[in-house]
Structure formats: C-alpha cells, structure tokens
Chain A
Amino acid sequence: MDFNFTDEQTMLRDSVARYLSDTYTFDARMAAVHGEAGWNPHVWKAFAEELGILGAPFAEDHGGLGGGAIENMIVMEEIGKALVIEPYLQTVVIGGGFLKAAGGALAEAVIPKIIDGSAIIAFAYAEPQGRYNLADLRTTAKKDGGGYVLNGHKAVVYAAPWATHLIVTARTGGSVRERGGVSVFLIAADAPGITRRDYPTVDGARASEVYFENVAVGADALIGAEGEGLPLVERVVDEATAAVCAEASGVVRKLHEGTLDYSRQRKQFGKSIGEFQVLQHRMVDMFMEVEQAVSMTLMATLRIDEHDRSKHVSAAKNKIARGARFVGQSAVQIHGGIGISNELAIGHYFKRATMIESQFGDADFHLRRFETLMD
C-alpha cells in the first residue's frame, strides 16, 4: 500500500498550486466572472502552454503527461482551492475521458487539440425531465444516410458558451430510460441547427440550455458503438464525479482554513471567537469532514478502474455532498454577516460547495445508488 505521490505528481501539484496562487487571485477570478466572456482565455492558454496540465491524463504519444485519474484528482483539488471557473472538468476529465476510452480517429484528431488548448468541450447530457438519470433521454439521433440527425433539448450545460465542441448523449434506439439505445456524439459547437440560451450560474460559471433542431452529423461523430453508449457514459460520469469530489476537497479545505483564520482575528466579548468552545468544536467537526473528503476522494480515485467502481464513487459523493454542506454552512455561520456578503471569497466557496453537492447526483441519489449496488 502506498499513498504517496510520485515526484512527478508532487511537481504537478506544486506547479499548479503556485501558478494559481500567483495569478488566480480572488479579485482576478471575480473580474473574469463578471466580464463579458465569463472566463479568462489567458488562463486556459497558460494551462496549456506554461503548465501543460491540459495534457495531464493523456498518453505521452499524444503530447500528454502520461497520467490518469490521480493526475486529474491533483489538478481538480487545486482548482477547488482557487475556485477556478475554466472548464478543466468538462474538457479534460470528461471530454478526454470519452476520447481516451473510445480511441480511434476522433481521439487521434481531438486529444492533441485538448492538450494544446484549442479544443474546449462541454458535456450536454442532462435533460429537463431526467434529473440525475443518465439514461433518461428524449434527445434523439435518427439514422440519416451515412450519418445522424439530432433533435432535443439539453439542460444546464456548463461551459457550453465557451465550447468548441459538445459531447452529446442521444437515443438512437430504445425508449426513455432504457439502457440500450444510447449513443454519444462529438459535435462542433457551431454546427447548423444548434442554438443556445446562455446564462451565468450561481457559482460563477456560465452554462446554457442547448437546443438541437435537425442537427446533421456524420457517422464519424459517433464516440463508441451506436446504441451501446450508456456504459461508457456511466464510466466517464463516475470519473467526473470523482473529479468533483477532488474539487470539493479543495473547496472545503479553503472554507475550513478561512474560517480558522477568521476565528483567530475576530474579537468579541474581549477575546478571539476561536476561543469559544462551541465554535472550536464546530471547527473540529469541519476539520474531520475535510479530512474524510480527501480520504473518500482518494478511495474513489484509486478504485476507478475496478468492477464495482460505481459503488465506490457513490460512497464518496454521498459522504462529500453531506460534508460540503456542513462545512459550507458552518463557515458562513462562524463568519456571521460577512459570510453572506458577496465581497468576500468565503461566500463564493460556499456557493461552489453548494453546487457541487448536486453535480452528477446529490447525496440522496448517491445513497440510493450505493444501496442498490452494495452487497
């Protein structure tokens, strides 16, 4: 058993952490959030060129760093600590995850573009009626000559306003919620027939409702085999869920650290509020949630290739969703009024922690999935 990072992994973590603490300040982040584009393309360029992290989980043959899930975990935890809004999750973890698993010409063509920063991917999977069920799809892809024609509506597609490509789940067969008949496509974001309604999200990112109206794609847009895409989708979403667990670990650590700092500085009744036992115990409880979040993230990441992967991911996500809520609410409570002001970072960590709770399924969803999968 070995829980130590390799030298390369430690270097990766340190270089990302250093870059983000030097350049990705809270003020810089908020300027990007409130800017017209809603993100900072220079940061993305730096991710690609200075840090090389957009290649973290890809093979060296493609120009990547030769890593995998652990490298994604390392980067995502740092992303959580700095509240990064740029779409590493969607592009590298999810987009990269699909392409790596499927291989073939599409992977050969697109992975190098992910690594050099020119391809930005958004994942259009959720639908208004489907909640967290990946198979609940009304979007259809009908066979048409050599290709397919897509129609449907995808809900709350994070990063879609910035994307060059969309990964889209659609039915080539089967009925709503049937496991069979699900196919996955990689489509240019500006393909004719795609329209979007863009909006900010409460946690500082941008997302869209994406509508497909007779969008024609070639057979070469298909990722994996026609009608057999659901296991692949489930696998990549489990990888993505482990990655947001890592992000959450970074977020809750910062919430805890920020609260500790504040409790040492803030004086009431003639002493630091950190001297009050009731707050000490609350901060100890927060600390224990942070440590367990890190543990569960590691557990899920290390088991991501096992046959019962989904059970472990659900265990991690359930635990972390509950922990993120407790830590976020406690951080705000201990900060008092200043915790709900938009001016301070603490409230923004709380907002991101809150959105992570339900991303790829909330605590109840993962508890239920765990129950169905446990022995």
Chain B
Amino acid sequence: MDLNFSADDLAFQQEVRTFLADHYPAGLKAKFDEGEELSKEDFLSWHKVLAAKGWAGIAWPVEYGGTGWTSVQRYIFAEESARADAMRLLPFGLNMVGPVIYTFGTPEQKAKYLPRILSGDDWWCQGYSEPGAGSDLASLRTKAERFTGDDGKEYYRVNGQKTWTTLAQHADMIFALVRTDATVKPQEGISFLLIDMKTPGITVRPIITLGGEHEVNEVWFEDVIVPVENRVFHENKGWTCAKFLLAHERTGIAGVAASKRGVERIKTIARTEIDSFGDEAQPLIANPFFKRKVAELEIDLTALEFTELRTLAGESSGKGPGPESSLLKIKGTEIQQRITELALEAVGHYGAPYFRGFGEGDNEHPIGPDYAHRAAPTYFNVRKTSIYGGSNEIQRNIIAKMVLGL
C-alpha cells in the first residue's frame, strides 16, 4: 500500500495540467463562470479537443480507442480537470452507452457507433425513465413490436413516452429500454435499442426545471420504425445491459474531484463574504457556525474519496463495479447537495435575485457578487442528484439486498 504517486504518475499529472492550461477553451470557462446556459457547441468544444488528443474514452479499453489509463491516472485526470474548472464530458455516450456497446454489442455495432461516440460526432441521450416508471424502472411500457418490413428485413415499431431525458434537444441518438414482451416478468421482457433521433415519429418536448433551465425533456415515440440490428444484446435481455449501465453510472456519480473544487469555492466565497454580527464584522469563514459545516463537509468528502479509491483499486484488480458503488452514489450526491446549501447560505441576501430575470441587454454590473448568481438555481437543480440514476432510496435498497443480504 502506498498513497504516493509514482514518478510516472507525477509526470502524467504534469502532462495533464499543462494540457488543460494550454487547451481548455477560454470562452467555455467564461460562459460556465457566468452561469450561461451552454450550447451544444459549447459542450462539444472540449469534447473535440480531448478526442483529438485521444483522451475522450477515459475508462475505455485501448482496443476501442480508449486511453487504457490506470485507475490512478483516471483519478489524476479528474483531479486536474476539477482544479482547472474544466467541465466533465457528458456521460451519456462515453460512460453509459459506449461501455454497453463494447461489452454487449456486435462487431458491426462497435464499428459503427464507438468511434462516433469518442469523436463527439453523435450526441447520445438516455431513454430510461417514463412517467409511470421511475424508481420502478422495470415497469416501463414503451412498446416495441417486431415486424417484417416490405423489404423483407426485421424491424421494431416503437410507441410510448420517455421523460427526464437530459439534453435530448441536442441528441442525434437515444438508447432506450423498450418492452418487447409484456407476457413475462417485467425484467424479462425488456430490450435495449439504439434509435436515431431523426427517425419520423419522435417528438422532443422541453421540461423547464426550478432554476429556469431547459435541461430535461419528454421524448415521445409514435410508430417509430427501428431496424432490429439496432438492438444491443439479445431480445428481452435488455435488463442485463440496463443494470450494467446503472452500476457504471454510479461510479462516476461520486464526483469527488468536482466536490473538492466545490469545497474550495465555498472557502473562497466565505473568505470574501463579510459576516456582520453585533459590533463585529469578520470574514464568514471565521464564523464558527459556518466554519464547522465546511470542516464537516471536507471530512465527509475525504471519507468518500478514500472509499472511492478503495473501490477503484478493487476494479483495477479485476472486479467490475458492484453494488458497493451505490454507496458512492448516495454519499457523493449528498455532498454535492451540501455544497450547494453552503453556497446559498454564504451569499446571504444575494441568493434571492433571479439572475435569468435581469433585463435584456442589461450590461450594467450584475446584481450582487458574481458567485451569488447561480447559488439558488444550483441549489434547486442539484436536488435532482439524489433522484436520478436510481434514487438514493433505491440505492439503499440495493445495498441492503446485494451487500448486506437482507
């Protein structure tokens, strides 16, 4: 056991740090800091830079164009990215459907989709949740009926509705869980389809969330025709892919590096904000009530970090991500939420102005300090993290059942 980086790791750290400093798009950083809604081009600009460098497929095997990095190298990359305030690449292609395709897909599917996921040419979204199927995902009802086309080929006809589909408004492709057999146990009649978003019959409708963002959508399917070769793995075995994907999603979800950066930001804000009480005025960080909460947060984050490192060590010795990753999801999201609580507390009165509401062309100095603008909307928005990817209640059920054997 050794907590120190090797000489190779240190060299790698330096390489990553230099690359980020030289190549992270300045405009993207500015927009992110200002709290502007990012465009599709914004999201892709960093993806394209990393793809050109060969660093998009961070956790992918080399044979599919991945980095082949060790878990330590991945850890270093995440740390350095957070330190540089670089955005994380969207997970839907790279961390979700990509691993499903290289694990379960046919050679044709791998050849067709994996390079375009790595390059960012295809934007993927996730068609899992439905209005009636949230925590109980297996009860999903979007129906795919198989038929033989006039051309003699096999197709599915898809009808139904997905919801909470993140950034579907930009998507080229959706990976969707669909019901292909309604006569068996729910988990045994689900298939995993890759669907082109340009297919006739698909409608995307925005859902506006509490901070005013258009981040999630409803996706409607009306007689959408999908070739059978777009199915990953066997018919009615899609649940296997779904479970595999959810476990993968949970490891990334700990977000340790980003939360470390979040704690640093809280400290910076708390050194800037003045806490006026009675006849004293001091930096907020000197307020023992506030400081204690920051300290507890940092301790809890350290506990999460070392739990994740232990999990990663297990993975690199050949164990895939298991149900233990539910622990990372629960604790990781709780910490992300506490960071947003402290940020909102720290900004005091200036948490109230709704920054999207400033007048058009209002180029005067914005209301309150820059770091205050997104405090409340971010606090509202980040409530989603304990709901999505399997709610934290479901994650506790998974641990109870799969880890504790209850």
Q: Which residues of A contact B (CB under 8 A)?
A: 126, 128-133, 135-136, 155-156, 158, 176-179, 197, 199-203, 207, 209, 267-269, 273, 276, 278-279, 325, 329, 332-333, 336-337, 339-343, 347, 350-351, 354-355, 358, 362, 364-365, 367-368, 372
Q: Given known contacts A354-B344, A364-B289, what 19 new A-B pairs fall within 8 Å (CB)?
A: A129-B281, A133-B277, A156-B352, A176-B281, A177-B278, A177-B279, A177-B280, A201-B354, A202-B211, A202-B352, A202-B380, A209-B367, A268-B139, A278-B396, A333-B392, A350-B380, A355-B352, A355-B376, A358-B349
B207 and A178 form a contact (CB under 8 A): no
Give complex CA distance A28, B124 in Å.
Answer: 38
Do A368 and B277 form a contact, CB below 8 Å, given A132-B348, A202-B351?
yes
Contact with B129, one of A129, A136, A337, A355 (Cβ below 8 angstroms): A337
Which 9 residue pairs of A and B lie closest in terms of their CB atoms, listed nearest first? Answer: A200-B357, A268-B136, A133-B276, A364-B289, A136-B276, A156-B349, A202-B376, A342-B208, A200-B354
What is the minimal beta-carbon distance from B170 to any residue of chain A, in angstroms?
19
A156 and B289 form a contact (CB under 8 A): no
Chain A residues whose C-beta falls within 8 Å of the C-beta of B384 in the assembled complex: 337, 340
What is the minimal beta-carbon distance from A31 to any residue of chain B, in angstroms?
16
- Digit string of B306-317 for contact with A (CB within 8 Å is 1, else 0)? 000000000000
Chain A residues whose C-beta falls within 8 Å of the C-beta of B383 in the assembled complex: 329, 332-333, 339-340
A128 and B368 form a contact (CB under 8 A): yes
Chain A residues whose C-beta falls within 8 Å of the C-beta of B387 in the assembled complex: 332-333, 336-337, 339-340
Chain B residues whose C-beta falls within 8 Å of the C-beta of A367 in the assembled complex: 289
What is the minimal beta-carbon distance from B107 to any residue of chain A, in angstroms?
37
What is the minimal beta-carbon distance from A261 to any residue of chain B, in angstroms?
17
Give complex CA distance A355, B290 in Å.
Answer: 18
Chain A residues whose C-beta falls within 8 Å of the C-beta of B276 in the assembled complex: 129-133, 136, 177
Chain A residues whose C-beta falls within 8 Å of the C-beta of B392 in the assembled complex: 333
B212 and A342 form a contact (CB under 8 A): yes
A333 and B386 form a contact (CB under 8 A): yes
Give complex CA distance A143, B406 in Å.
Answer: 76
Contact with B357, one of A131, A199, A355, A358 (Cβ below 8 angstroms): A199
B353 on the A face (CB < 8 A): yes
Do A197 and B208 form a contact, CB below 8 Å, given A129-B274, A131-B348, A268-B134?
no
B350 and A156 form a contact (CB under 8 A): yes
B122 on the A face (CB < 8 A): no
Chain A residues whose C-beta falls within 8 Å of the C-beta of B135 in the assembled complex: 268-269, 273, 336
B134 and A364 form a contact (CB under 8 A): no
What is the minimal beta-carbon distance from B184 to any residue of chain A, in angstroms?
16
A201 and B345 form a contact (CB under 8 A): no
Give complex CA distance A243, B93 in Å.
Answer: 51
B33 on the A face (CB < 8 A): no
Chain A residues whose C-beta falls within 8 Å of the C-beta of B368 in the assembled complex: 128, 155-156
What is the minimal beta-carbon distance from B218 to any residue of chain A, in angstroms?
11
Contact with A351, one of B353, B358, B380 (Cβ below 8 angstroms): B380
A156 and B353 form a contact (CB under 8 A): yes
- Digit string of B16-59 for contact with A (CB within 8 Å is 1, else 0)? 00000000000000000000000000000000000000000000
Give complex CA distance A209, B368 in Å.
Answer: 9
What is the minimal beta-carbon distance from A342 to any residue of chain B, in angstroms?
4
What is the minimal beta-carbon distance from B290 to any residue of chain A, in angstroms?
6
A129, A201, A340, A351, most chain B CB atoms within 10 A? A340
B60 on the A face (CB < 8 A): no
B147 on the A face (CB < 8 A): no
Chain A residues whose C-beta falls within 8 Å of the C-beta of B136 in the assembled complex: 268-269
A201 and B352 form a contact (CB under 8 A): yes
Chain B stretch 202-229: residues in CB contact (< 8 A) with chain A: 207-212, 216
Chain A residues whose C-beta falls within 8 Å of the C-beta of B364 in the assembled complex: 197
Nearest-neighbor residue (CB-CB) of B163 within chain A: A337
Contact with A199, one of B133, B216, B354 (Cβ below 8 angstroms): B354
Chain B stretch 353-402: residues in CB contact (< 8 A) with chain A: 353-354, 357-358, 364, 367-368, 376-377, 379-381, 383-384, 386-388, 391-393, 396
B209 and A341 form a contact (CB under 8 A): yes
B208 and A343 form a contact (CB under 8 A): yes
Chain B stretch 263-287: residues in CB contact (< 8 A) with chain A: 273-281, 287
Contact with A197, one of B133, B275, B280, B367 (Cβ below 8 angstroms): B367
Give complex CA distance A155, B367 in Å.
Answer: 9
Do A340 and B209 form a contact, CB below 8 Å, given A177-B281, A364-B290?
yes
A342 and B353 form a contact (CB under 8 A): no
B208 and A336 form a contact (CB under 8 A): no
Chain A residues whose C-beta falls within 8 Å of the C-beta of B239 in the assembled complex: none
Nearest-neighbor residue (CB-CB) of B376 within chain A: A202
Chain B residues whose C-beta falls within 8 Å of the C-beta of A207 in the assembled complex: 352-353
Chain A residues whose C-beta falls within 8 Å of the C-beta of B380 in the assembled complex: 202, 340, 347, 350-351, 354
Chain A residues whose C-beta falls within 8 Å of the C-beta of B354 in the assembled complex: 199-202
Chain B residues whose C-beta falls within 8 Å of the C-beta of A340 in the assembled complex: 209-210, 380-381, 383-384, 387
What is the minimal beta-carbon distance from B363 to any residue of chain A, in angstroms?
12
Chain B residues whose C-beta falls within 8 Å of the C-beta of A131 in the assembled complex: 273-277, 348-349
Chain B residues whose C-beta falls within 8 Å of the C-beta of A269 in the assembled complex: 135-136, 139
Nearest-neighbor residue (CB-CB) of A365 within chain B: B277
